[in-house]
Amino acid sequence: MGKATGFLEFERRDNANIPVKERIKNYNEFHRILSADERREQGARCMNCGVPFCQSAMKLSGMVVGCPLNNLIPEWNDEIYNKRDRHAFNRLAKTSNFPEFTGRVCPALCEKACINGEHSKPVTIHDNELFIIEQAYKEGYIKPMIPSVRSNKKVAVIGSGPSGLAVADTLNHRGHNVTVFERDDRIGGLLMYGIPNMKLNKDVIFRRQKLMEEEGVVFKTGVNVGVDVKSEDLLKEFDAVVLCCGAKKARPLNGVDPKTQKGVYFAVDFLKSTTKALLDMDDDDRSVETLKKAGGYISAEGKNVVVVGGGDTGNDCIGTVIRHGAKSVTALEMMSAPPVERAENNPWPEWPKVLKVDYGHEEAIELFGNDPRIYETTVKEVRCDKKGNIKEIDIVKVGFENGKMVEKGEPETIPCDLLLIAAGFIGCEDYVAEEFKVNRTQRNVVETEEGKYASSIKGVFTAGDMHRGQSLVVWGVKEGRECAREVDKYLMGYSNL
């Protein structure tokens, strides 16, 4: 460990957030980074305990505890404390392809399993990781690693989200020739168009793209495989194909139809419109006023907004509509509110099932004076004017009996000019899976053997949300790395990955 008494001497200090009324004036990342000296102290708090659950990725009570990537956390915390930043980066890069992504958007399963957190506050592992990777870019430790020997094997990766990028990065470094196909105009999948700028500056993705291109990865954007390109053509040209198209089939709401009701949108479509408008602007200024002048996005300005869904995407919608200038925002969640503190049946080091106040909730509380979330509630009916524009909705309390949702009490009518559906996803979109004729599970994801990534079609593999269902960025990277090893073994007969 860096300092035997570090966890006793130094208090936990997070990267502080810019105050609400200042940060909502723009779409920039809003964390204030600690100085290098302050970060050394945070590294010193790591105890290098005998049982480091932070990096274990073991299952307890059906949940994974610690980092799915098995990041060597105590090792690089020690290097941070001892001012060996290059060594810290080398240890981090050994297990993680894209720390600049997870260091920004990961919910930090590692920290929830830190032994310091059992009785006090855990180590700032998440912020330490971000410090390491950004220091590496700043100091020039990160340079293109171009394979000295190529295998002459060609791999097509369909989709450029976290799993697709991890597959491509890993196989390219192995020496295979990798081409990534992305139907959107920019790479990144939900990293680009599902996560707002406030959480992940898109320049971070472009920086990684440039590095991967210098290393030999080919990106083809604006190519919709299954529409613009047929599966038989890819299977003839490439030695292996990896499907990493995500789980983008949005969960619908009964009686709610974005196609016929104006002012109703799926959350990802709404978030994408704002991000794309920011990226398409000639002006690099990401201020709220500059975007308003540019236009070209689904605006919540002056509207009563209702968000259905209490997860990360719902929170991102809240933060975005606040920057648009929404008149009000309400968030509906079907489940009951989680406890403020851990329940007895949810002990450390399990993931704490407790109430979380994220940045969007925090902003709504300060601006509107109350938490926007209403629990055990859903939409019963949407009311539109004669032109089909949504104007109000009926909401109703719900509960669960014998596994089925039941209504409780009488409906209540509330104003709603913009309804955003952030109720999760129900598997992969049909057309790519149908194009490659791969088997799917009852959860509508590509079927493989347990712990494997080969589909029912020879030479076709899958990873990420298209394989495991809607999940975290860190799991996408994990699956991409493991899938790459399986593809490598298929191509070469063995693998040293």
Domain ranges, ordered by start, for the chain: 6-139, 154-249+426-492, 264-421
pLDDT of residue 284: 78
DSSP character at residue 351: P
For residue 415, whether the previous peptide bond is cis, meaning omega lies within 30 degrees of 0, is: no
pLDDT of residue 255: 87
pLDDT of residue 108: 96
Q: List strands edge to edge, sheet with 154-158.
A: 218-221, 177-182, 154-158, 240-243, 460-462
Q: What CATH superfamily classification does 6-139 receive?
A: Alpha-helical ferredoxin (1.10.1060.10)
DSSP H helices, 238-338, are 267-280, 288-294, 312-324
State which CATH number among 3.50.50.60, 3.40.50.410, 3.40.50.970, 3.40.50.300 fits the domain covering 154-249+426-492: 3.50.50.60
Query: Which amino acid is located at 388 in the chain?
Result: G
3-class DSSP state for residue 419? Answer: strand
3-class DSSP state for residue 17? Answer: strand
6-139 and 264-421 have identical folds: no
* Distance in angstroms (rounded) separating the CA atoms of residues 378 and 332: 6
According to DSSP, the β-strands at 304-308 and 58-60 are unpaired
Rounded to 5°, the CA angle 326-255-402 comes to: 105
Question: Tokens at residue 387, please?
Answer: 């032109």
Question: How many Cα atoms are found within 13 Å in the side-chain-facing hemisphere of 85?
Answer: 19
> Residue 75: in which H helix or E strand, if any?
helix 73-81
3-class DSSP state for residue 416? Answer: coil
Q: Which residues of 142-152 are buried (b: 16+ CB within 10 A; e: fewer)?
A: beeeeeeeebe
* Distance in angstroms (rounded) separating the CA atoms of residues 52 and 59: 14
pLDDT of residue 1: 72
Question: Tokens at residue 131, please?
Answer: 């410090």
Residues listed for the chain:
497
What is the block-wise mean pLDDT of the chain (497 residues), using blocks of 10 residues?
87 96 97 95 92 92 94 96 97 98 97 92 97 97 96 97 98 98 98 97 98 98 97 98 96 89 96 97 87 96 96 96 98 95 92 95 97 96 94 96 90 97 95 97 96 97 97 97 98 96
Question: Tokens at residue 249, please?
Answer: 């089939």
* Distance in angstroms (rounded) separating the CA atoms of residues 54 and 5: 19
Question: Tokens at residue 189, please?
Answer: 């999948």
162-174 and 202-214 helices cross at what angle (nearest 10)?
Answer: 20
10 Å Cβ neighbour count for 405?
12
Q: Is 132 left (phi over 0), alpha (psi -120 to 50) or beta?
A: alpha
End-to-end CA distance of the chain: 29
DSSP character at residue 118: G
pLDDT of residue 282: 77
* Distance in angstroms (rounded) separating the CA atoms of residues 46 and 83: 15
* Distance in angstroms (rounded) separating the CA atoms of residues 123 and 101: 19
Question: Tokens at residue 383, please?
Answer: 């009311």
Domain covering 264-421, topology: FAD/NAD(P)-binding domain (3.50.50)
